[in-house]
Amino acid sequence: MGDFIVELAANAHPVHVAAGALDRLGELARAAGLKPARAALVTDSNVAPLYGDRAARALRAAGFDPAIVVVAAGEASKSLATLATVYDRLADAGLDRSSAIFALGGGVVGDLAGFAAATWMRGIAVAQIPTTLVAQVDSALGGKTGINHPSAKNLIGAFHQPRLVVADVATLATLPEREFREGLAEAIKYGAIMDAPMVAALEAAMPAILRREPATLAEIVERSLRHKAFVVQSDEREGGLRKILNFGHTIGHALEASAGYGSLLHGEAVAIGMGAATALSRACANLPAPDATRLLGLIEAAGLATRLPAGWRGAEFDRALKLDKKRAGAGVEFVLIDRLGHAFTRELGFDEIIAALA
Protein backbone atom coordinates (compact mmCIF):
# COMPACT_ATOMS: atom_id res chain seq x y z
CA MET A 1 0.00 0.00 0.00
CA GLY A 2 1.24 3.43 -0.83
CA ASP A 3 4.07 2.32 -3.09
CA PHE A 4 4.04 1.45 -6.76
CA ILE A 5 6.24 1.55 -9.83
CA VAL A 6 5.65 3.72 -12.90
CA GLU A 7 6.43 1.19 -15.63
CA LEU A 8 8.21 3.10 -18.36
CA ALA A 9 10.54 1.15 -20.61
CA ALA A 10 13.68 3.21 -20.02
CA ASN A 11 12.49 5.30 -17.10
CA ALA A 12 10.70 3.01 -14.64
CA HIS A 13 10.66 4.55 -11.19
CA PRO A 14 9.05 4.12 -7.76
CA VAL A 15 6.34 6.30 -6.24
CA HIS A 16 5.84 6.47 -2.47
CA VAL A 17 2.73 8.03 -0.94
CA ALA A 18 2.56 8.18 2.87
CA ALA A 19 2.33 10.54 5.81
CA GLY A 20 5.85 10.98 7.16
CA ALA A 21 7.63 9.73 4.02
CA LEU A 22 9.76 12.89 4.01
CA ASP A 23 11.82 11.53 6.91
CA ARG A 24 12.66 8.44 4.84
CA LEU A 25 13.70 10.45 1.79
CA GLY A 26 17.37 9.42 1.96
CA GLU A 27 16.76 5.70 2.23
CA LEU A 28 14.05 5.84 -0.45
CA ALA A 29 16.49 7.66 -2.75
CA ARG A 30 19.17 5.02 -2.18
CA ALA A 31 16.66 2.25 -2.75
CA ALA A 32 15.74 3.94 -6.06
CA GLY A 33 19.37 3.70 -7.10
CA LEU A 34 20.43 7.31 -6.58
CA LYS A 35 24.10 7.54 -5.66
CA PRO A 36 24.79 9.05 -2.21
CA ALA A 37 26.98 11.91 -3.34
CA ARG A 38 26.98 15.66 -3.77
CA ALA A 39 23.37 16.66 -4.51
CA ALA A 40 21.11 19.69 -4.63
CA LEU A 41 17.91 20.19 -2.68
CA VAL A 42 15.90 22.81 -4.59
CA THR A 43 12.96 24.35 -2.75
CA ASP A 44 11.15 27.68 -2.40
CA SER A 45 11.03 30.41 0.23
CA ASN A 46 7.77 29.14 1.77
CA VAL A 47 8.64 25.46 1.84
CA ALA A 48 12.28 25.83 2.97
CA PRO A 49 11.46 26.95 6.54
CA LEU A 50 8.70 24.35 6.85
CA TYR A 51 10.32 21.20 5.46
CA GLY A 52 13.82 22.05 4.21
CA ASP A 53 15.69 20.91 7.31
CA ARG A 54 13.80 17.63 7.60
CA ALA A 55 14.48 16.78 3.98
CA ALA A 56 18.15 17.72 4.24
CA ARG A 57 18.55 15.73 7.44
CA ALA A 58 16.96 12.65 5.90
CA LEU A 59 19.27 12.94 2.89
CA ARG A 60 22.41 13.36 5.02
CA ALA A 61 21.48 10.39 7.18
CA ALA A 62 21.63 8.24 4.03
CA GLY A 63 24.97 9.64 2.86
CA PHE A 64 23.86 12.40 0.47
CA ASP A 65 25.55 15.80 0.69
CA PRO A 66 22.88 18.30 -0.43
CA ALA A 67 23.50 21.94 -1.27
CA ILE A 68 20.30 23.81 -0.41
CA VAL A 69 18.99 26.04 -3.21
CA VAL A 70 16.06 28.29 -2.28
CA VAL A 71 14.13 30.20 -4.96
CA ALA A 72 11.43 32.80 -4.33
CA ALA A 73 7.97 31.24 -3.90
CA GLY A 74 5.61 31.83 -6.80
CA GLU A 75 5.05 31.29 -10.51
CA ALA A 76 7.50 34.11 -11.37
CA SER A 77 10.34 31.74 -10.46
CA LYS A 78 9.59 29.57 -13.50
CA SER A 79 11.81 31.99 -15.44
CA LEU A 80 15.11 32.03 -17.30
CA ALA A 81 16.48 34.42 -14.67
CA THR A 82 15.74 32.06 -11.78
CA LEU A 83 16.94 29.07 -13.79
CA ALA A 84 20.24 30.89 -14.30
CA THR A 85 20.65 31.33 -10.54
CA VAL A 86 19.91 27.64 -10.03
CA TYR A 87 22.62 26.70 -12.58
CA ASP A 88 25.05 29.02 -10.73
CA ARG A 89 24.33 27.21 -7.48
CA LEU A 90 24.75 23.80 -9.11
CA ALA A 91 28.13 24.92 -10.46
CA ASP A 92 29.20 26.29 -7.06
CA ALA A 93 28.13 23.07 -5.41
CA GLY A 94 30.16 21.01 -7.89
CA LEU A 95 27.30 18.87 -9.11
CA ASP A 96 28.46 16.28 -11.62
CA ARG A 97 26.84 13.61 -13.78
CA SER A 98 26.39 11.26 -10.83
CA SER A 99 24.61 13.91 -8.73
CA ALA A 100 20.88 14.17 -8.17
CA ILE A 101 18.54 17.11 -7.75
CA PHE A 102 15.78 16.82 -5.15
CA ALA A 103 12.81 19.06 -5.98
CA LEU A 104 10.95 19.83 -2.72
CA GLY A 105 7.86 21.99 -3.18
CA GLY A 106 4.88 22.64 -5.41
CA GLY A 107 4.62 22.48 -9.17
CA VAL A 108 6.75 25.57 -9.61
CA VAL A 109 9.75 23.99 -7.90
CA GLY A 110 9.07 20.64 -9.59
CA ASP A 111 8.95 22.14 -13.08
CA LEU A 112 11.94 24.45 -12.53
CA ALA A 113 14.21 21.97 -10.74
CA GLY A 114 13.11 19.21 -13.11
CA PHE A 115 14.12 21.32 -16.09
CA ALA A 116 17.44 22.21 -14.43
CA ALA A 117 18.04 18.46 -13.99
CA ALA A 118 16.98 17.75 -17.59
CA THR A 119 19.59 20.16 -18.92
CA TRP A 120 22.47 20.13 -16.41
CA MET A 121 25.28 18.16 -18.05
CA ARG A 122 22.70 16.96 -20.62
CA GLY A 123 20.55 15.43 -17.91
CA ILE A 124 21.05 14.26 -14.33
CA ALA A 125 18.73 12.44 -11.95
CA VAL A 126 15.80 14.25 -10.37
CA ALA A 127 13.60 13.16 -7.47
CA GLN A 128 10.24 14.85 -7.09
CA ILE A 129 9.08 15.53 -3.52
CA PRO A 130 5.75 17.35 -4.03
CA THR A 131 4.31 19.38 -1.12
CA THR A 132 1.14 20.86 -2.69
CA LEU A 133 -1.96 18.84 -3.58
CA VAL A 134 -1.62 19.97 -7.22
CA ALA A 135 1.91 18.59 -7.32
CA GLN A 136 1.02 15.41 -5.39
CA VAL A 137 -1.89 14.40 -7.61
CA ASP A 138 -0.55 15.75 -10.89
CA SER A 139 2.68 17.58 -11.67
CA ALA A 140 5.21 15.41 -9.81
CA LEU A 141 4.48 12.47 -12.10
CA GLY A 142 4.70 12.42 -15.87
CA GLY A 143 8.08 13.94 -16.63
CA LYS A 144 6.96 17.31 -17.96
CA THR A 145 9.40 19.99 -16.85
CA GLY A 146 9.96 23.57 -17.91
CA ILE A 147 9.75 27.28 -17.40
CA ASN A 148 7.59 30.09 -18.73
CA HIS A 149 8.40 32.56 -21.50
CA PRO A 150 7.08 36.12 -21.12
CA SER A 151 4.75 35.40 -24.07
CA ALA A 152 3.22 32.18 -22.68
CA LYS A 153 3.33 29.61 -19.89
CA ASN A 154 5.46 26.45 -20.16
CA LEU A 155 6.90 27.41 -23.55
CA ILE A 156 10.42 26.19 -22.74
CA GLY A 157 10.75 22.67 -21.46
CA ALA A 158 11.73 19.04 -21.75
CA PHE A 159 10.40 15.62 -20.90
CA HIS A 160 12.55 14.35 -18.04
CA GLN A 161 11.17 11.50 -15.95
CA PRO A 162 11.95 11.54 -12.23
CA ARG A 163 13.88 8.63 -10.73
CA LEU A 164 11.70 8.76 -7.65
CA VAL A 165 8.49 10.44 -6.43
CA VAL A 166 7.88 10.85 -2.69
CA ALA A 167 4.54 12.40 -1.72
CA ASP A 168 4.33 13.02 2.03
CA VAL A 169 0.65 13.88 2.53
CA ALA A 170 1.36 15.22 6.04
CA THR A 171 3.02 18.24 4.42
CA LEU A 172 -0.41 19.25 3.06
CA ALA A 173 -1.40 20.29 6.61
CA THR A 174 0.28 23.68 6.12
CA LEU A 175 -1.04 24.40 2.63
CA PRO A 176 -3.31 27.48 2.40
CA GLU A 177 -7.00 26.55 2.03
CA ARG A 178 -7.41 27.93 -1.50
CA GLU A 179 -4.36 26.02 -2.80
CA PHE A 180 -5.64 22.86 -1.10
CA ARG A 181 -9.09 23.06 -2.68
CA GLU A 182 -7.78 23.78 -6.16
CA GLY A 183 -5.79 20.53 -6.00
CA LEU A 184 -9.03 18.62 -5.44
CA ALA A 185 -10.17 19.64 -8.92
CA GLU A 186 -7.50 17.43 -10.51
CA ALA A 187 -8.34 14.50 -8.21
CA ILE A 188 -12.04 14.77 -9.14
CA LYS A 189 -10.97 14.88 -12.80
CA TYR A 190 -9.47 11.37 -12.60
CA GLY A 191 -12.78 10.06 -11.24
CA ALA A 192 -14.75 11.81 -13.97
CA ILE A 193 -12.61 10.55 -16.87
CA MET A 194 -11.57 7.06 -15.81
CA ASP A 195 -12.81 5.84 -12.43
CA ALA A 196 -16.53 6.07 -11.58
CA PRO A 197 -16.04 4.30 -8.21
CA MET A 198 -13.54 7.05 -7.34
CA VAL A 199 -16.33 9.59 -7.74
CA ALA A 200 -18.31 7.67 -5.10
CA ALA A 201 -15.22 7.37 -2.90
CA LEU A 202 -14.62 11.11 -3.11
CA GLU A 203 -18.28 11.84 -2.35
CA ALA A 204 -18.10 9.70 0.79
CA ALA A 205 -14.69 10.96 1.91
CA MET A 206 -15.08 14.67 1.21
CA PRO A 207 -15.55 15.72 4.87
CA ALA A 208 -12.40 13.79 5.89
CA ILE A 209 -10.53 15.17 2.89
CA LEU A 210 -11.44 18.73 3.83
CA ARG A 211 -10.26 18.02 7.41
CA ARG A 212 -7.05 16.82 5.73
CA GLU A 213 -6.98 13.48 7.50
CA PRO A 214 -3.68 11.96 6.43
CA ALA A 215 -4.96 8.41 5.81
CA THR A 216 -7.74 9.72 3.56
CA LEU A 217 -5.40 12.08 1.73
CA ALA A 218 -2.94 9.23 1.15
CA GLU A 219 -5.73 7.19 -0.45
CA ILE A 220 -6.84 9.90 -2.88
CA VAL A 221 -3.30 11.01 -3.74
CA GLU A 222 -2.23 7.43 -4.44
CA ARG A 223 -5.36 6.69 -6.47
CA SER A 224 -4.85 9.86 -8.51
CA LEU A 225 -1.18 9.13 -9.14
CA ARG A 226 -1.90 5.53 -10.13
CA HIS A 227 -4.32 6.86 -12.75
CA LYS A 228 -1.84 9.40 -14.02
CA ALA A 229 0.83 6.67 -14.12
CA PHE A 230 -1.48 4.40 -16.12
CA VAL A 231 -2.09 7.13 -18.69
CA VAL A 232 1.57 8.19 -18.86
CA GLN A 233 2.69 4.57 -19.20
CA SER A 234 0.52 4.03 -22.23
CA ASP A 235 1.30 7.43 -23.74
CA GLU A 236 4.54 8.87 -22.37
CA ARG A 237 4.74 11.78 -24.84
CA GLU A 238 1.11 12.85 -25.09
CA GLY A 239 0.04 11.45 -28.45
CA GLY A 240 -3.32 9.90 -27.65
CA LEU A 241 -4.70 8.66 -24.34
CA ARG A 242 -2.87 11.34 -22.33
CA LYS A 243 -5.13 13.93 -23.96
CA ILE A 244 -8.07 12.86 -21.78
CA LEU A 245 -6.17 14.39 -18.84
CA ASN A 246 -7.16 17.73 -20.39
CA PHE A 247 -10.77 17.27 -19.26
CA GLY A 248 -11.95 20.71 -18.07
CA HIS A 249 -8.73 22.30 -19.30
CA THR A 250 -9.78 23.73 -22.68
CA ILE A 251 -12.31 26.12 -21.14
CA GLY A 252 -10.18 26.32 -17.99
CA HIS A 253 -7.12 27.57 -19.85
CA ALA A 254 -9.20 30.11 -21.81
CA LEU A 255 -10.67 31.39 -18.54
CA GLU A 256 -7.25 31.61 -16.89
CA ALA A 257 -5.92 33.57 -19.83
CA SER A 258 -8.90 35.92 -20.16
CA ALA A 259 -9.31 36.49 -16.41
CA GLY A 260 -5.65 37.43 -16.26
CA TYR A 261 -3.20 34.88 -14.87
CA GLY A 262 -3.35 34.82 -11.10
CA SER A 263 -6.92 35.97 -10.50
CA LEU A 264 -8.18 32.39 -10.87
CA LEU A 265 -5.95 29.57 -9.64
CA HIS A 266 -5.43 26.82 -12.21
CA GLY A 267 -7.55 24.30 -10.30
CA GLU A 268 -10.33 26.84 -9.84
CA ALA A 269 -10.38 27.47 -13.58
CA VAL A 270 -10.33 23.71 -14.26
CA ALA A 271 -13.29 23.22 -11.90
CA ILE A 272 -15.31 25.75 -13.91
CA GLY A 273 -13.97 24.14 -17.08
CA MET A 274 -15.22 20.74 -15.88
CA GLY A 275 -18.60 22.33 -15.22
CA ALA A 276 -18.65 23.61 -18.79
CA ALA A 277 -17.37 20.27 -20.16
CA THR A 278 -20.20 18.56 -18.25
CA ALA A 279 -22.75 20.82 -19.98
CA LEU A 280 -21.12 20.08 -23.33
CA SER A 281 -21.14 16.35 -22.55
CA ARG A 282 -24.86 16.58 -21.88
CA ALA A 283 -25.39 18.39 -25.19
CA CYS A 284 -22.96 16.45 -27.40
CA ALA A 285 -22.28 13.07 -25.78
CA ASN A 286 -25.56 11.99 -24.12
CA LEU A 287 -24.12 12.23 -20.62
CA PRO A 288 -27.05 11.13 -18.39
CA ALA A 289 -28.48 13.93 -16.24
CA PRO A 290 -27.88 12.09 -12.92
CA ASP A 291 -24.18 11.68 -13.77
CA ALA A 292 -23.90 15.38 -14.54
CA THR A 293 -25.66 16.30 -11.29
CA ARG A 294 -23.34 14.10 -9.24
CA LEU A 295 -20.18 15.45 -10.84
CA LEU A 296 -21.24 19.08 -10.38
CA GLY A 297 -22.26 18.33 -6.77
CA LEU A 298 -18.87 16.76 -6.03
CA ILE A 299 -16.95 19.73 -7.41
CA GLU A 300 -19.09 22.08 -5.35
CA ALA A 301 -18.66 19.92 -2.23
CA ALA A 302 -14.93 20.51 -2.64
CA GLY A 303 -15.64 24.23 -2.36
CA LEU A 304 -15.05 24.95 -6.03
CA ALA A 305 -17.25 26.86 -8.45
CA THR A 306 -18.67 25.06 -11.52
CA ARG A 307 -20.38 27.95 -13.26
CA LEU A 308 -18.84 30.30 -15.73
CA PRO A 309 -18.38 33.70 -14.08
CA ALA A 310 -20.58 36.60 -15.21
CA GLY A 311 -19.18 38.21 -18.33
CA TRP A 312 -17.02 35.16 -19.17
CA ARG A 313 -17.48 35.60 -22.89
CA GLY A 314 -15.35 38.32 -24.39
CA ALA A 315 -12.80 38.91 -27.11
CA GLU A 316 -10.03 37.67 -24.80
CA PHE A 317 -11.86 34.42 -24.00
CA ASP A 318 -12.66 33.74 -27.67
CA ARG A 319 -9.11 34.39 -28.72
CA ALA A 320 -7.70 32.17 -25.96
CA LEU A 321 -10.09 29.35 -26.90
CA LYS A 322 -9.23 29.61 -30.59
CA LEU A 323 -5.53 29.67 -29.74
CA ASP A 324 -5.81 26.50 -27.66
CA LYS A 325 -2.87 24.20 -28.30
CA LYS A 326 -5.26 21.31 -28.84
CA ARG A 327 -7.21 23.02 -31.58
CA ALA A 328 -7.64 21.05 -34.76
CA GLY A 329 -8.53 22.98 -37.89
CA ALA A 330 -11.70 25.01 -37.44
CA GLY A 331 -12.54 23.44 -34.11
CA VAL A 332 -11.04 22.43 -30.81
CA GLU A 333 -10.21 18.89 -29.75
CA PHE A 334 -12.44 18.66 -26.72
CA VAL A 335 -12.52 16.06 -23.92
CA LEU A 336 -16.07 14.83 -23.23
CA ILE A 337 -17.53 12.15 -20.97
CA ASP A 338 -20.48 9.97 -21.97
CA ARG A 339 -20.79 8.57 -18.45
CA LEU A 340 -18.90 9.00 -15.19
CA GLY A 341 -15.51 7.32 -15.56
CA HIS A 342 -15.38 7.31 -19.36
CA ALA A 343 -13.81 10.06 -21.48
CA PHE A 344 -12.94 10.51 -25.13
CA THR A 345 -11.93 13.38 -27.36
CA ARG A 346 -13.95 14.89 -30.20
CA GLU A 347 -13.40 17.86 -32.43
CA LEU A 348 -16.03 20.47 -31.64
CA GLY A 349 -16.63 23.60 -33.65
CA PHE A 350 -15.99 26.86 -31.90
CA ASP A 351 -19.62 27.92 -32.44
CA GLU A 352 -20.88 24.57 -31.13
CA ILE A 353 -18.92 25.09 -27.90
CA ILE A 354 -20.14 28.64 -27.40
CA ALA A 355 -23.75 27.65 -28.16
CA ALA A 356 -23.75 24.84 -25.58
CA LEU A 357 -22.38 27.14 -22.91
CA ALA A 358 -24.57 30.15 -23.59
Q: Which residues of the shown chain bind ligand NAD in the complex (CB under 6 A)?
A: 44, 46-47, 50, 73-75, 78, 105-109, 111, 131-132, 134-135, 138-139, 142, 144, 153-154, 171, 174-175, 179
Nearer to ligand NAD, 98 or 233 (CB): 233
Please compute Rg for the chain using Cα positions: 20
Of 160, 228, 243, 294, the catalytic one is 228
For 18-64, the DSSP string reads -TTGGGGHHHHHHHTT--SSEEEEEEETTHIIIIIHHHHHHHHHTT-
Q: Does residue 253 carry a catalytic annotation?
A: yes
Provide the minimum distance between the beta carbon of 112 and ligand NAD in the complex, in angstroms, as a whole number: 9
Q: Does residue 16 carry a catalytic annotation?
A: no
Nearer to ligand NAD, 25 or 135 (CB): 135
Q: Does residue 46 carry a catalytic annotation?
A: no
Of 54, 153, 242, 313, the catalytic one is 242
Q: Does residue 266 carry a catalytic annotation?
A: yes
Provide the minimum distance between the beta carbon of 43 and ligand NAD in the complex, in angstroms, as a whole number: 9
Between CA 275 and CA 307 the distance in angstroms is 6
Nearer to ligand NAD, 246 or 353 (CB): 246
How far, in whole angstroms, is CA 154 from its chain's centroid? 13
Between CA 296 and CA 305 the distance in angstroms is 9
Nearest to 201 by CA among 137, 335, 84, 294: 294
Q: Does residue 186 carry a catalytic annotation?
A: yes
| Residues ≥6 apart with Cβ < 8 Å to 84 | none
Between CA 257 and CA 88 the distance in angstroms is 33
Q: Does residue 249 carry a catalytic annotation?
A: yes
Provide the minimum distance between the beta carbon of 61 and ligand NAD in the complex, in angstroms, as a whole number: 21
Of 78, 144, 163, 294, the catalytic one is 144
Question: Which positions are annotated as active-site residues?
Answer: 122, 144, 186, 228, 238, 242, 246, 249, 253, 266
